[in-house]
Chain A
Amino acid sequence: MSRISATFEKLGQEGRKALIPFFTAGDPSLAQCVPTMQALVAGGADLIELGVPFSDPMADGPTIQRASERALRQGVSLRQVLDAVSRFRQDDGKTPVVLMGYANPIERMGREAFADRCAESGVDGVLVVDYPPDEARALGALLSPRGIDSIFLLSPTSTDERVREIATLASGYIYYVSLRGVTGASHIDVADVGHQVARIKALARVPVGVGFGIRDDATARALSAVADGIVVGSRIVEEIEASSESEAPAAVGALIKRFRQAMDAQR
């Protein structure tokens, strides 16, 4: 069983929901990448989504684009992100790490080389935001034998046919986009998300995490009643943006702890 599936299974047994923070690797600096991951785990994160910076992050809002720009100004590359995961793995063999990013840096490295490097570094899942199912299938055929899950996005506008197609390809978990728009937008309808998650779970066999627009612990608590996991992204990146470089890990650790407490109070 993959590290991701084991994590969701254990949480399920405990009656808890996964807390999944996202931040962009290299923001605020490459040196703080592993300390930030460790602070998130200490604050109660169950799984970490690590953003791979890209020059043209079309599906992200301004907050995450700025994080990408900060990382790229320091020359952070996919290779260095994978190296950071390796360093994280030296002390943490338990917390799953998912790389989330765009196709071009992966294609530039070469899909097979990327899959090899993911396996060597201890990456557990890969979400390529701009891959259509056919391309993701080709990458998944390289990731799966190496024990790496293929994570997919589904949105409020995904048809049942689309959900079924992605359900056959997805492993680990499915990331449900809780609103229309880009990352960091606002206005979540909890009842509607609950209905949509139920629709997906009827068609897919993997857990469903919910993200996009989760900005406060109250929303996280409400959504954790209807989903298997909560993804917090832009809110964390804002915290990094507002902190000095040296204080960023502690700041996001404290923030994620508030989300954890709110979600566990739900039980």
Chain B
Amino acid sequence: MKIYDMPDREGHFGPYGGTFVSETLIAAIDELKRQYLRFRDDPEFQEEYAYELKHYVGRPSPIYHARRLSDSLGGAQIYLKREDLNHTGAHKINNTVGQAMLARRMGKRRVIAETGAGQHGVATATVAARYGMECVVYMGSEDVRRQAQNVYRMKLLGATVVPVESGSKTLKDALNEAMRDWVTNVQDTFYIIGTVAGPHPYPMMVRDFNAVVGRECLAQMPEMAGRQPDVVIACVGGGSNAMGIFHPYIPEETVRLMGVEAGGEGVATGHHAASLVAGSPGVLHGNRTYLLQDENGQIIETHSISAGLDYPGVGPEHAWLKDTGRAEYVAITDGEALNAFHALCRMEGIIPALESSHALAQAMKMAPAMGKERILLVNLSGRGDKDMATVAERSGIRL
């Protein structure tokens, strides 16, 4: 078994990652890097983090054998890692708890975040309330309109939600705006990035905080199924839930890792958010990675039914895993994800997030051609309550 110790000291995953930010942010990023490396190995920090995950987040999350769904497909057994059962309903809180704890130790009284669908914004507002910190969440004005319920949740939790009117008015613009806030208010402000993108050390730090998901699976799968899965499947927008479940499995060379991007209306139509499947390397939001860009290097607008996957970049570690072949990346369309969504509702009594439905759809695609003794482990990264309006609208129903 080879030792996997990415990234290097400068945050590179092979040619990807790094610190592509203006000089005005360098001091803040260096300070964050120093403090994170210090507390990452601090037993007292880790003990408190473990306590918070157990008693506040509700970990460990169970693994569930989706028997009826598996039987209906007639092939491989589908197991679900139930991140949807976490407090706030998704994996995002694993990371926000960790970063908020770091912010407190760094003496920052104000936290900011970007959010697309609102899940990371809610998870940040939640921990800010938990620790008594001021919280400002940047959200594209288009997303504010589409995700009114999450906007209200954040406000209930005491956060200020700032609609971003620039650019495409979605997640990438919210990230730009949060970065500007951070540059301006760096003395008292901690920027809680919600995915494994951004400048070093964010891709590493967000991965580390989410890696509890994969570590639990490594221990749970032998108990549940007598062995590790054949394939681990997770959806990839920025890629934090996927990195969280993949990372502990990277040295387990017999386990295939499969990332599922948003194929939107189909990769061939150009209306999608599949950066790894259909993009090319470039520099955005502080790191080098695969991007959806035009021939002049401008970032292009993306499309997905799932706001959480609607991002033109992807975490740099995924770019590296793709190039090395350690992980495979595929795309699932809006329609395929919706079918998987309904199947899980009807056959297992679980309403998955539309993001997670992409991973599930890939498992449902693969299972029939595989033997019944084979095992697919899907990271069910979030619950679907937030998606009621989107799904209803697709079915022609107004709630």
Chain A residues within 8 Å of B, Cβ to Cβ = 54-59, 61-62, 65-66, 69, 72, 77-79, 102-109, 129-132, 134-135, 152-155, 157-159, 162, 166, 177, 180-182, 185
Q: Which residues of B contact A134 (CB under 8 A)?
A: 10
Chain B residues with CB under 8 Å of A109's CB are 297
Which of B19, B183, B299 touches A104 (beta carbons < 8 Å)?
A: B299
Which of B21, B166, B173, B296: most chain A CB closer than 10 A?
A: B296
User: Which chain B positions have C-beta within 8 A of A77?
Assistant: 296, 298
Contact in complex: A155, B23 (CB < 8 Å): yes
- CB contact under 8 A between A158 and B291, given known A55-B299, A56-B172: no
A62, A72, A131, A132: the one within 8 Å of B298 (CB): A72
Instruction: From the candidates A58, A106, A107, name the one contacting B179 in the complex (CB within 8 A).
Output: A58
B19 touches A132 (CB 8 A): yes
A/B interface sample: 10 pairs, CB < 8 A: A54-B297, A62-B166, A106-B297, A108-B297, A129-B22, A153-B22, A155-B23, A157-B28, A158-B27, A177-B23
Task: Name the contact of B21 in the complex, choosing from A72, A104, A130 (C-beta under 8 A).
Answer: A130
Minimum distance in angstroms from B106 CB to a CB of chain A: 15
- For A72, what are the chain B residues with a Cβ–Cβ distance below 8 Å? 298
**A182:B183 contact, CB within 8 angstroms:** yes
Main SS of chain B's interface residues?
mixed
B218 at the interface (CB under 8 A from A): no
Chain A positions within 8 Å of B18 at CB level: 132, 135
The stretch of B73-81, B201-209, B282-290, B369-377 that contacts the partner chain: B282-290
- Chain A residues, Cβ within 8 Å of B220: none
In the assembled complex, how far is the CB of residue A197 from the closest CB belonging to chain B, in whole angstroms?
A: 15
- From B20, B167, B282, B284, A131 is in contact (CB under 8 Å) with B20
Bound-state CA distance A174–B45 (Å) is 41
Q: Which residues of A contact B284 (CB under 8 A)?
A: 56, 104
Q: Which chain B residues in 1-45 approach chain A with CB under 8 Å? A: 10, 18-28
Tell me which residues across on chain B come within 8 A of A106, comparing CB atoms: 297
Q: B22 to A69, Cβ gap below 8 A?
A: no
Q: A131 contacts which chain B residues (CB < 8 A)? A: 20
CB atoms of B26 and A180 under 8 A apart = no
